Amino acid sequence: MLYHYLKIATRTLLRYRVYSTINLVGLALGLSAGILVLVFALDEFSYDQFHHKGNRLYRVVTVFNSDHGSNGSNETNAWPIGELLRRTFPESEGVLYTRSAGNLMVTFEGKKVREAAHYVSPEFFSMFSFPLTKGNPATALVDPFSIVISEKMEAKYFPGENALGKTLIFNDTLQFHVTGVMKNIPHNSHIQADMLPSFASWEKMTPNFSYTDGWGNFNMRNYILLKPGIDEVGFFDKAKDLYTQHAGELMKQWGVNASLAFEPISKIYLHTAGGNGMGPLGSIDTVYLLCGVGVFVILLACINFINLATARSVHRAKEVGIKKVVGSNRSLLVWQFLSESLVITVLSFVLALAAIGLVLPLFNQLLAKNYTMLALFDVKVVAGILILVVIITLCAGYYPAWVLSAFRPAEILKGKMASGSKGVQLRRALVIVQFIVSVSLVAGTLIVINQLRFMQNQDLGFTKDEVLVVNILRAKPVNQDAYNAFGNELKSLSQVKGVTYCNGLPAVPGWVGQWAYPEGKEDKDHLVETQYIAADEKYIGTLDLKLVAGRNFDVTGKSDEDALIINEETVRQMGWETAANAIGKRIVSPSQTPAGVVIGVVKDYHDHGLQNKITPIVIDWNNRFAYLFAIRYSAENTQSLIATIGQMWSTYYPENDFNYFFLSDSFAKQYAKEQRLAKVFSLFSIITILIAMIGLFGLVSFLMTAKTKEIGVRKILGASMWNLTSLLTKEFLLLVIIANVVAIPMIVYFAQQWLQTFAYRMELSPLLFVTTTFAAIFITLLTVSIQTVKAADVNPIKSLRSE
């Protein structure tokens, strides 16, 4: 029976090729968008789901609440936290210590290669499900200067050999012995590392490290594995106050209330507010947003199917009437039309696969992913696709099947069948829904793009273009004379306008979280969180910062060794009211930095993207902590300049790679999320517009058929082509206007909610909504006019005969 239905359905689709093609294209667009979103969402939700003990595994996070409003979470903890959790709480089965090793420099085939690494304690392999292919997981990370590497690193550094027992040399002098080889960490892990030196190595290299002291050192990551059957909530409640219990006085001195929070391992990638220095982070908001858009796109495709199927009901009425006369009942007719829906859906799925193959590279680029077509054959994706096919078949096919099967054969065969007003109103409502979604997506796209342009075009308070930055961190030899000689030779180049040596630049923060007071007010009520930048006297000129009071550093004497230059925000938060009042004031700190006398104030500049407020900045004339050369140059021949600087680098630092970047590129990366969002919205906006146009075509087709006699009579009575076209299009213009009236308040509300996440944001302009409204009207007129002109051009004699 099913075969019979499918055979009839295929013949019907071939008979009505135009209708079938339109339906196929509409559903294929919806399915391709839905499947891409499905692949993305399932991948995002799969992060860290493979750990066997994942339901008992948590990351320990420090939550700060300061007395002056600076609040937040951080993935790193004070040194003693891990030991306190291990020693104090019997609920703990294991506590992991880990900290970043930065980019270790590996000597390989006469070259220096930087590799990211993390020091980890021996519990790593017993807590996480990262299997070793060589070595003993229980002992591999016990001894100092032992290291576990990935299979990828084994193939890179020891091709064709067994790496176990081999030696890797880091930073010229440190010899690490390979004690294990692990499988490459899967991409869907928030921890990404190919080199894991033992934590005991870092202990050996850090004589002042203490498991019981060091409350001011917040650079340790900890994970905890709870024993089975433990009351997690009760444990969290007991453990959260460790800072207060063991370092309460110090926290009071800093004006900070610190507590612990525990993040389930499976929630870190999408939900954490504490950052992730060990690998990638996703965004649950982005996942929900794309899922919502995907659902709407599929919904629009289903609406199209319904509109087109019911629009054709007049043409298929006699077929239904004859089948009923010869004994077909309603349920059989429903099955027949559902089978047609299934055939179209399956064919649309095949077409969608071809479309996905074409757009997948673009999709990967937009979302910074690396999906292949093989992702479509994942078990969960296949199950999701089958569910989509069933849902679309039922949603898109059941209503038209029910409507068509309800026709009365007597009226049909007498030619008296007419469509009810309820059906017309439903189709109009569905088109309004389509335009609400389309207008909302288009307006949302424009809002994201305009906010992005607003941020990119704002005066930043400094000049970011034509600044090349050279990173000399860990460059060998570590020699101040070499640094000075390299800097002086840079200044001698004709293309170079200025050179500064520093530890922080816009979008490349210096030391953040440095606490300071105005002298004489050393209490928590006057504590200010600053960013400390160590720089030379060329810093202000190279970045083109504007002095509003005081002076720059004086290189000719030693009087400025205690001097500081601050920004206007520091003046405000220190309570000095004006920049002039700040000159000569002293800043003190509970730590070593920042401390000194204010000799100058620079105009506020955006040290971060405009998502964030300008923060207090203190610039110290001190190059002991500097590791960046910022070079302002004239852009006649940038590549030649880079090559020249590279040659100079190889002279001074022959064993090190030449690492450089452009300050403008680094600053632009802060807007990468908004840029991806704008591109994704643009892609889905185009898809929804195409689907909406197809849906509109369906409704126009239905109405043109229903008004055949009316059009013929009006033409006989003298109606012109213009009269008929305007008569038939005004109804659709009304639908568009209704859709905009409904959509605009919703757009304004959600746009304002989104814009609130930016410290500096554009104003919503009425012009934006006028633009989207007129764009919708233009698309409507274009789509409707094609059909109405065609209908109005029919010979009225044929129109009257068709009645």
Is residue 516 within 8 A of residue 618, CB to CB? The reply is: yes
Task: Specify which residues 170 forms β-bridges with.
Answer: 106, 174
∠ CA 207-210-212, rounded to 5°: 165
Q: Which carries the bigger pLDDT value, residue 95 or residue 309?
A: 95
Same domain assignment for residues 414 and 435: no
Query: Mean of the pLDDT values across residues 202-219?
Result: 85
Give the residue from 227, 223, 235 showing the smallest Cα distance to 125: 223
Supply 707's token pair.
Answer: 């008004």
**Boundary (domain end) residue, out of 217, 246, 271:** 271
pLDDT tens readout for residues 273-283: 888 888 888 88
Q: What is the pLDDT of residue 185?
A: 96
Q: What is the pLDDT of residue 112?
A: 72
pLDDT tens readout for residues 664-701: 999 988 888 888 888 888 888 888 888 888 777 777 77
Same domain assignment for residues 262 and 312: no
Task: Specify which residues 99 forms β-bridges with.
Answer: 119
Is residue 178 within 8 A of residue 166, CB to CB? The reply is: yes
What residues have CB less than 8 Å from 475, skipping those under 6 apart? 653, 656
Residue 560 phi/psi, 5° resolution? -100, 10
Is residue 123 within 8 A of residue 139, CB to CB? The reply is: no
pLDDT exceeds cutoff 70 at 92: yes
Same domain assignment for residues 652 and 775: no
Q: Is 585 within the bounds of a domain?
A: yes
How far is Cα of residue 680 from the mean position of the Cα atoms in its chain?
10
Instruction: Band the pLDDT of 557: cuts 50, 70, 90.
Output: low
Same domain assignment for residues 529 and 398: no
pLDDT exceeds cutoff 80 at 578: yes
Q: What is the pLDDT of residue 651?
A: 84
Task: Specify which residues 65 forms β-bridges with.
Answer: 71, 257
**Boundary (domain end) residue, out of 221, 238, 271:** 271
Same domain assignment for residues 382 and 480: no
Q: State the DSSP H helix or E strand holding residue 94, giving kind and residue range, or none if neither.
A: strand 92-108
Instruction: Evaluate the CA torsion angle 360, 366, 367, 368 in order and state its sign.
Output: positive
Average pLDDT, the chain: 84
The b-or-e profile of 253-264 (16+ CB within 10 A means b, else e) is ebbbbbbbbbbe
Same domain assignment for residues 34 and 94: no
Task: Specify which residues 629 forms β-bridges with.
Answer: 470, 501
Q: Is 41 within the bounds of a domain?
A: yes
Q: What is the pLDDT of residue 547?
A: 95
pLDDT tens readout for residues 581-606: 999 999 988 766 778 899 999 999 99
* Helices vs strands, H then E, count in the chain: 26, 23
Among 64-73, 292-301, 342-351, which stretch is predicted with the lowest mean pLDDT? 64-73
Give, as one character, the DSSP assignment of residue 605.
-
pLDDT tens readout for residues 440-496: 988 988 999 999 999 988 999 999 999 999 988 666 555 667 777 888 888 889 899
Same domain assignment for residues 396 and 287: yes
Same domain assignment for residues 410 and 428: no
* Alpha carbons 128 and 193: distance in angstroms, whole number: 13
Classify residue 105 as exposed, middle or buried by CB count within 10 Å of its CB (0-12, 13-18, 19+): buried
Q: What is the pLDDT of residue 687?
A: 87
Domain count, the chain: 4
Instruction: Band the pLDDT of 794: cuts 50, 70, 90.
Output: low
Q: Is 689 within the bounds of a domain?
A: yes
Supply 773's token pair.
Answer: 């409204």
* Alpha carbons 251 and 410: distance in angstroms, whole number: 87
* Alpha carbons 580 and 583: distance in angstroms, whole number: 6
First to last CA, the chain: 36
Q: State the DSSP H helix or E strand holding residue 607, giving kind and residue range, or none if neither.
A: none
Give the residue from 317, 351, 326, 614 showing the smallest Cα distance to 459: 614
Instruction: Band the pLDDT of 47: cuts 50, 70, 90.
Output: very high
Q: What is the pLDDT of residue 157?
A: 92
Is residue 488 within 8 A of residue 533, CB to CB? The reply is: no
Cis peptide before 186 (omega within 30 of 0): no
Q: What is the pLDDT of residue 467?
A: 94
Same domain assignment for residues 624 and 720: no
Same domain assignment for residues 589 and 711: no
Supply 682's token pair.
Answer: 């643009």
Q: Domain containing 701: what range?
A: 423-459+668-803
Q: What is the pLDDT of residue 410?
A: 59
Query: Mean of the pLDDT values across residues 24-35?
Result: 88
Kindly give the interhelix angle for 672-706 and 17-45, rounded to the nearest 10 degrees. 150
* Alpha carbons 788 and 396: distance in angstroms, whole number: 26
* Alpha carbons 499 and 628: distance in angstroms, whole number: 10
Q: What is the pLDDT of residue 296?
A: 87
* Alpha carbons 23 and 498: distance in angstroms, whole number: 63
Q: Which amino acid is at 415?
A: G
What residues have CB less than 8 Å from 569, skipping those under 6 apart? 604, 614, 615, 616, 617
Give, as one character, the DSSP assignment of residue 775.
H
Is residue 76 within 8 A of residue 61, CB to CB? The reply is: no
Is residue 302 within 8 A of residue 387, CB to CB? The reply is: no
**Boundary (domain end) residue, out of 651, 667, 683:** 667
* Alpha carbons 645 and 649: distance in angstroms, whole number: 6
Q: What is the pLDDT of residue 426?
A: 74
Q: Is 431 within the bounds of a domain?
A: yes
Instruction: Band the pLDDT of 645: cuts 50, 70, 90.
Output: very high
* Alpha carbons 774 and 71: distance in angstroms, whole number: 45
Q: What is the pLDDT of residue 326?
A: 64
pLDDT cut 70: percent of the chain above it: 86
Q: Which carries the bigger pLDDT value, residue 345 or residue 481?
A: 345
* Alpha carbons 608 and 505: distance in angstroms, whole number: 9
Q: Which amino acid is at 66?
A: S
Same domain assignment for residues 38 and 111: no
* Alpha carbons 608 and 386: distance in angstroms, whole number: 46
Q: What is the pLDDT of residue 417?
A: 53
Q: What is the pLDDT of residue 13?
A: 64
What residues have CB less than 8 Å from 595, skipping those under 6 apart? 516, 587, 588, 589
Among 115-119, 260-264, 420-424, which stretch is predicted with the lowest mean pLDDT? 420-424
Structure-derived torsion over alpha carbons of residues 310, 312, 317, 322, reported in degrees to the nearest 10: -110
Q: Which carries the bigger pLDDT value, residue 2 or residue 171?
A: 171
* Alpha carbons 371 and 40: distance in angstroms, whole number: 9
pLDDT tens readout for residues 521-553: 866 677 888 899 999 899 999 999 999 999 999
Q: What is the pLDDT of residue 412?
A: 57
Q: What is the pLDDT of residue 67?
A: 58
Q: What is the 3-state secondary structure (H, E, C) of 163-181?
A: CCCCEEEECCCEEEEEEEE
Q: Is 21 within the bounds of a domain?
A: yes
Give, as one character, the DSSP assignment of residue 425.
H
Supply 762's token pair.
Answer: 């554009």
Q: What share of the chain is helix, strand, coil (3-state, %, to 5)?
A: 50, 20, 30
The runs of H, that is alpha helices, within 707-765 are 708-716, 721-755
Q: Is 556 within the bounds of a domain?
A: yes
Q: What is the pLDDT of residue 643?
A: 92
Cis peptide before 477 (omega within 30 of 0): yes
Is residue 476 within 8 A of residue 561, CB to CB? The reply is: no
pLDDT exceeds cutoff 70 at 408: no
Supply 2's token pair.
Answer: 């099913």
Query: Mean of the pLDDT values across residues 208-229?
Result: 88
Supply 49's token pair.
Answer: 């789901």
Is residue 581 within 8 A of residue 497, CB to CB? The reply is: no
Q: What is the pLDDT of residue 325?
A: 66
Instruction: Band the pLDDT of 718: cuts 50, 70, 90.
Output: confident
Q: What is the pLDDT of residue 184?
A: 96
Supply 299's token pair.
Answer: 């919904």
pLDDT tens readout for residues 700-710: 776 776 676 77
Q: Is 276 within the bounds of a domain?
A: no
Same domain assignment for residues 601 and 619: yes
State if pTM tops 0.75: yes
3-state SS assignment for residue 5:
helix
Among 133-142, 493-502, 648-657, which stretch is predicted with the lowest mean pLDDT? 648-657
Is residue 419 within 8 A of residue 412, CB to CB? The reply is: no
Query: Mean of the pLDDT values across residues 262-276?
Result: 91
134: left (phi over 0), alpha (psi -120 to 50) or beta: beta
* Half-sphere exposure of residue 401: CA atoms within 13 angstroms, side-chain side: 21
E strands, 519-635, in order:
528-535, 547-550, 563-567, 586-588, 596-602, 617-621, 628-633
pLDDT tens readout for residues 49-87: 999 999 999 999 999 876 555 677 889 999 999 999 999
How far is Cα of residue 147 from the mean position of the Cα atoms in its chain?
33
Q: Is 563 within the bounds of a domain?
A: yes
Is residue 492 within 8 A of residue 633, CB to CB? The reply is: no
